[in-house]
Structure 1
Amino acid sequence: MYVNTELKQQENNPRLETIAEMVQSVAKKYQEDTLKLLALLRLLESLHREIRDSLFLESLPRDRQTLYTLLKNIEEEGGWPYIHRLKLQSLLKNLPENTFSELHLEKNTQSLVECETSKSLSLKQGEIS
């Protein structure tokens, strides 16, 4: 787990350490459950966005010295906090090759079923096909 040690020493905030440990613990508990891990990631992203758009923006520096300190920290500690979304291409890389043919077959089968269903519905409604 990556934790910025300088920030940790600077703030010496056991609450943040506890939160990080709790999130890691929950993630490990859900290790084999993709949907629960996805829910956890969505929650973290939502919290990130909420904190950034309200509390963080309101707390931005109002004088040069404080702004300089913030910018210096951003430069030294690795930039602006951002949650990167997984791109679809990255997700697809992990699927076995035969999955695509299965998906294509499923789609074609589903289309045939929809055609047959709509055809029979049309006949029931008295339409001539």
Structure 2
Amino acid sequence: MGLTTSQQQRLTSQLGQLELLAGELEGQPESLLALLRQLEQLHRSVQDGAFRSSLPSDRSQLFRLLESMERSGGWPYIPRPQLRSYLDQLQAQQAPPPAATAAGL
């Protein structure tokens, strides 16, 4: 069982508003980061609150839910970039080539 038609319409409308906001914030990385952080906070709140308390306590029902999740795309997750990997990439781009370093240039 999924969302009702009315719930799906409300969700689609609200997600559309968030997409419009993200478009308005294009070119403003700090503002987009704030938006992503708030979306992640909402995700965690729903996951740790209503979703977790709604999980079935019966093993067979939980197993069926997990099977259903796998068929429909797995666990919901909002990936977020690894800041460290970005910093490593920037450092690699700014570093002189190894030959120049070895030659003392």
TM-score for the superposition, normalised by structure 1: 0.59
CA drift at 1:46: 0.7
Pairwise mapping of residues 110-129 of structure 1 onto structure 2 (< 5 A)? none
Give me the CA root mean square deviation.
2.7
- Name the larger-Rg structure: 1
Q: Encode CA deviations 1:68-119: one digit per residue, 9 max, x unaligned.
A: 4421221111211122231124423368934x79xxxxxxxxxxxxxxxxxx
Moved more, 78-87 or 50-59: 78-87
Residue in structure 2 matched with residue 80 of structure 1 by the alignment: 75
Amino acid of the residue matched to residue 76 of structure 1? R
Q: Distance in 1 between matches of 2:18 and 2:69?
A: 24
Pairwise mapping of residues 1-129 of structure 1 onto structure 2 (< 5 A)? 10-11=2-3, 12=5, 13-64=8-59, 66-92=61-87, 93=89, 97-98=93-94
Q: Distance in 1 between matches of 2:93 and 2:62?
A: 51
Segments of 5+ residues of structure 2 without an aligned counterpart are: 97-105
Segments of 5+ residues of structure 1 without an aligned counterpart are: 1-6, 102-129
Q: Give the paired residue count.
A: 92
Identity %: 38
